[in-house]
């Protein structure tokens, strides 16, 4: 039995929206993603508040999230939707 399908594992990374650090403790990752930061997250962003004619910028926090994704792929020497070949 020759292996025809060699799926590739992909890691998709994303960051949540930047919010005040004090409000970021309970920020969830999107469905299917796993949170890889703890507590208030990473303080590496700025969020903006609009007050009448001014926009104020404040340091904020966000969480990093990852999702493992298997991309179907044929092994070398095989092709097509059913990975036929050779």
pLDDT, tens digit, 9 for 90 and up, residues 75-86: 988 988 888 876
pLDDT, tens digit, 9 for 90 and up, residues 18-43: 999 999 999 999 999 999 999 999 99
| pTM, two decimal places | 0.73
pLDDT, tens digit, 9 for 90 and up, residues 45-60: 999 999 999 999 999 9
Question: What per-residue confidence (pLDDT) applies to 1?
Answer: 63
Domain limits, the chain = 8-71
Mean pLDDT in residue range 62-69: 96
Q: How far apart are CA 2 and CA 47, in angstroms?
A: 54
- DSSP for the chain, written as a single string: ----B-PEEEEEEEEPPPB-GGG-TTPPPPTT-EE-S-TT-EEEEEEEEEETTEEEEEEEEE-EEEEEEEEP-BPTTEETTTTEE-
């Amino acid at each position: 039995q020759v292996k025809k399908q060699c799926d590739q594992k992909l890691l998709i990374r994303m960051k949540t929206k930047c919010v005040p650090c004090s409000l970021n403790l309970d920020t969830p990752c999107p469905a299917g993603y796993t949170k890889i930061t703890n507590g208030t997250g990473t303080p590496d962003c700025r969020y903006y508040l609009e007050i009448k004619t001014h926009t104020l910028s404040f340091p904020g926090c966000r969480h990093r999230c990852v999702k493992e994704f298997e991309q179907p792929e044929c092994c070398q020497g095989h092709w097509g939707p059913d990975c036929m070949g050779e």
